[in-house]
């Protein structure tokens, strides 16, 4: 095992803020399954968060402890590329941002030249800036599971809660990003395609209301956005189809939050919501979900759960293709936290994620946080792994 070391240490020696900070935040780590490489990204700022740069490293081999090809991308002085999310795709590494300058300046999407980064060559980026008036916020780029997409040259898919969503929402918006690094002006970002879904009230109205045991401190729901990842899979053979799965937090019954999930099919044709559902547990709040799908079409959703009688815990549920459409099986609590977050700190776990182990394309790995005792800035990370018995 290497380290532990700060993620930012990968960029030591790179000129500018990526190499010297002094402020770093919002790390995303992905495994490029088709290439067998690690993608490590972090937001760096020279001025405490007013100006942001995207620092991207791609491992030279499949060894995460080895050397990396390192890159720095600027958005201009005074522009902050907040809340980055990444997706691995054959044509590029795709990213989404919420831009601030200093107020909200709209969503931004970018494509980074994967083919060049895999060899350590000079790499281009192509970006599209949306305006605040367009209503876009917290896009997610599609992230490839398995090793192939539906057709060569297929665009990357971006999905968000509908542009017209307020505290309630009844649609998702899907966009397509086609990048052309040879002639960048030929690149396109098109949409939205509106996908009607069951109407729901966003958890806490998108704000802060998740209860915890032993404290009046409430936690952020981040119910105003889809949660990482927007997982994509291309199924071949009998019943061939493409699928995206996504999740976010909604109000449910007696609880301030449950986990809403969706499976979208035919994203590159006429997209349809194949199935959807809401995961709830009485008066217990479920939130910070992350969703994935294995090679057999089994779906798993990991999430945090909390209430006035329990400390934040880590749990998951799932379904197999033969389960009734739109349903999940029983919830399994994998780890009970021993403390609640206090001290006026409300942010919780929004970089949790579920991923599929490329060695068997069956095992789910779910990373989330918990607190061992009451406090703040004392999080620990729990790695949970599981798979469905029918996936070999």
Phi, psi of 133 (to 5 degrees): -65, -20
**Alpha carbon distances (Å) from 127 to 96, 112, 243:** 9, 9, 25
Q: What is the pLDDT of residues 359-377, one digit of tens each?
A: 999 999 999 999 999 999 9
Q: What is the pLDDT of residues 245-303, one digit of tens each?
A: 999 999 999 899 999 999 999 999 999 999 999 999 999 999 999 999 999 999 999 99
Residue 217 has pLDDT above 90, yes or no: yes
Nearest Cα residue to 292 out of 222, 220, 388, 197 = 388
Predicted local distance difference test score (pLDDT) of residue 72: 98
Mean pLDDT of 186-213: 97
Mean pLDDT of 86-108: 98
The residue that leads in pLDDT, 190 or 238, is 190
Residue 182 has pLDDT above 90, yes or no: yes
CB atoms within 10 A of CB 344: 7
Mean pLDDT of 75-86: 98
Mean pLDDT of 153-163: 96
Predicted local distance difference test score (pLDDT) of residue 172: 98
- Residue 106: which residues within 8 A CB-CB, separation 6 or more? 99, 129, 130, 131, 132, 134, 136
Predicted local distance difference test score (pLDDT) of residue 1: 83
Task: Write the DSSP symbol of residue 140.
Answer: E
Q: Are 71 and 56 in contact (CB under 8 A)?
A: yes
Percent residues over pLDDT 90 in the chain: 97
> Across all residues in the chain, what is the average pLDDT?
97
Q: What is the residue-wise DSSP string for 281-335? A: BTTBEEEEEEEEE-TTS-EEEEEEEEETTEEEEEEEEEE-TTSPTT-----EEEE
Q: What is the pLDDT of residues 120-152, one digit of tens each?
A: 999 999 999 999 999 999 999 999 999 899 999
| 356 Cα distance to chain centroid | 14
The residue that leads in pLDDT, 350 or 244, is 244
**Alpha carbon distances (Å) from 209 to 47, 163, 206, 307:** 32, 24, 9, 10
Residue 351 has pLDDT above 90, yes or no: no
Pairing of strands 208-212, 188-201: unpaired
- Residue 274: which residues within 8 A CB-CB, separation 6 or more? 243, 263, 264, 265
């Amino acid at each position: 095992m290497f380290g532990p070391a700060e993620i930012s240490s990968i960029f030591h020696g790179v000129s500018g803020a990526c190499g010297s900070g002094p402020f770093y935040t919002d790390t995303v780590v992905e495994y490029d399954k088709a290439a067998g490489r690690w993608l490590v990204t972090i937001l760096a700022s020279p001025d405490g968060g007013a100006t942001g740069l995207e620092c991207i490293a791609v491992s030279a081999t499949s060894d995460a402890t080895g050397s990396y090809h390192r890159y720095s991308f600027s958005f201009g002085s005074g522009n902050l590329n907040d809340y980055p999310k990444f997706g691995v795709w054959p044509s590029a590494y795709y990213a989404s941002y919420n831009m601030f300058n200093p107020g909200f300046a709209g969503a931004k999407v970018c494509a980074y030249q994967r083919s060049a980064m895999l060899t350590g060559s000079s790499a281009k980026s192509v970006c599209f800036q949306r305006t605040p008036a367009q209503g876009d916020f917290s896009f997610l780029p599609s992230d490839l599971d398995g090793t192939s997409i539906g057709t060569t040259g297929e665009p990357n898919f971006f999905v968000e809660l509908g542009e017209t969503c307020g505290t309630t929402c009844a649609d998702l918006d899907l966009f397509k990003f086609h990048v052309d690094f040879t002639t960048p002006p030929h690149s396109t970002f098109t949409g939205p395609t509106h996908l009607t879904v069951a109407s729901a009230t966003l958890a806490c109205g998108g704000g802060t209301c998740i209860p915890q045991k032993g404290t009046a401190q409430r936690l952020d729901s981040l119910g105003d956005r889809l949660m990482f990842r927007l997982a994509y899979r291309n199924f071949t053979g009998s019943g061939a189809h493409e699928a995206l799965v996504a999740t976010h937090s909604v109000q449910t019954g007696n609880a301030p939050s449950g986990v809403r999930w969706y499976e979208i099919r035919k994203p590159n044709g006429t997209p349809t919501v194949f199935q959807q559902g809401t995961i709830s547990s009485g008066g217990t709040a479920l939130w910070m979900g992350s969703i994935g799908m294995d090679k057999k079409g089994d779906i798993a959703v990991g999430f945090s759960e909390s209430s006035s009688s329990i400390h934040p815990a880590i749990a998951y549920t799932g379904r197999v293709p033969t389960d009734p459409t739109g349903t999940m099986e029983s919830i399994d609590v994998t780890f009970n936290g021993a403390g609640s977050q206090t001290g006026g700190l409300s942010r919780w776990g929004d970089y949790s994620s579920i991923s599929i182990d490329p060695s068997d394309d069956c095992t789910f790995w779910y990373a989330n946080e918990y607190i061992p005792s009451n406090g703040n800035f004392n999080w620990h990370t729990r790695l949970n792994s599981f798979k469905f018995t029918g996936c070999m």
